[in-house]
Amino acid sequence: MMDTKAAKKMFEEAKQFYEQHCPGAMEWANNFNPEAFKNLTPAGFFEAYWRAVHANGTQWAVPQLPDMTGMFKNFETMAQANMQSFTAAMSAFNQNEQGQSFLDGYKAIAEEGFAEFKKRLEASGISELENMPGIGPATKFYFAKDIGLDDAIKPDVWLARAAELCKATIDEMADFLSKEYNMRRGAIDAILHWYGAEKSFGK
């Protein structure tokens, strides 16, 4: 049986630590809108994609993004032009590995068409995101949350240790804390992951 007292004590310590060391991050962590995916545009999707690739799973600090607004907004035009603008766009990404991954994903979706890709993503769910260049088994959870696809919690080592301390599974712990503190599962994930990585609880 889950130790709810231990879960609450642990989470309250983690939440306080998170708020102290990541001011402003709580709003991002607790923000999930399922309507966002329904209304998702190419511009919104690729902006979130670049954040996911560039952040590489860093959920408490979103890096400064290159100014790619024009490229995102002109997605359809660029697709019709066979991606000729990518040569110039490469300089904004410093031709690094993250930039190349993003551009590879961008090109693939352009070839398929964003509308078709979005339908396929909605049908397949979060697992489809991991097939995209630059998106890994952890990053897909942040990406899914950012585009309104899924308020998921990732089963990483810190969440596993937290759940062990509560004598529960990760999902049981996340569901309990989400209801107890009226917070999104993604926020529970962010708080416990960051606290665990910094404080190494359970060890």
Residues 172, 189: one domain? Answer: yes
Residues 112, 14: one domain? Answer: no
Residues 78, 178: one domain? Answer: no
Question: How many domains does the chain fold into?
Answer: 2
Q: Give Cα 154 distance to the centre of its chain.
A: 10
Residues 64, 127: one domain? Answer: yes
Decide if 7 contacts 166 (C-beta within 8 A): yes
Residue after which a domain boundary falls, among 129, 146, 163: 146
- Dist CA 162 CA 17 (whole Å): 15
Could you tell me the residue range of the domain that residue 89 belongs to? 36-146
Q: Is 148 helix (H, G, I), strand (E, B) or coil?
A: coil
Q: What is the mean pLDDT of residues 108-122?
A: 91
Residues 21, 79: one domain? Answer: no
pTM here? 0.68
The answer for 113, left when phi > 0, alpha when psi is -120 to 50, beta otherwise, is: left
Report which secondary-structure segment, H or E, holds 99: helix 97-112
Q: What is the DSSP letter of 63?
A: P
Residue after which a domain boundary falls, among 128, 146, 164: 146
Residues 109, 15: one domain? Answer: no
Does the structure show a pLDDT above 80 at 200? no
- Dist CA 171 CA 175 (whole Å): 6
Predicted pLDDT of residue 76: 53
Residue whose entry in the numeric block shows the structure tokens 């952040």 = 55
Predicted pLDDT of residue 80: 45
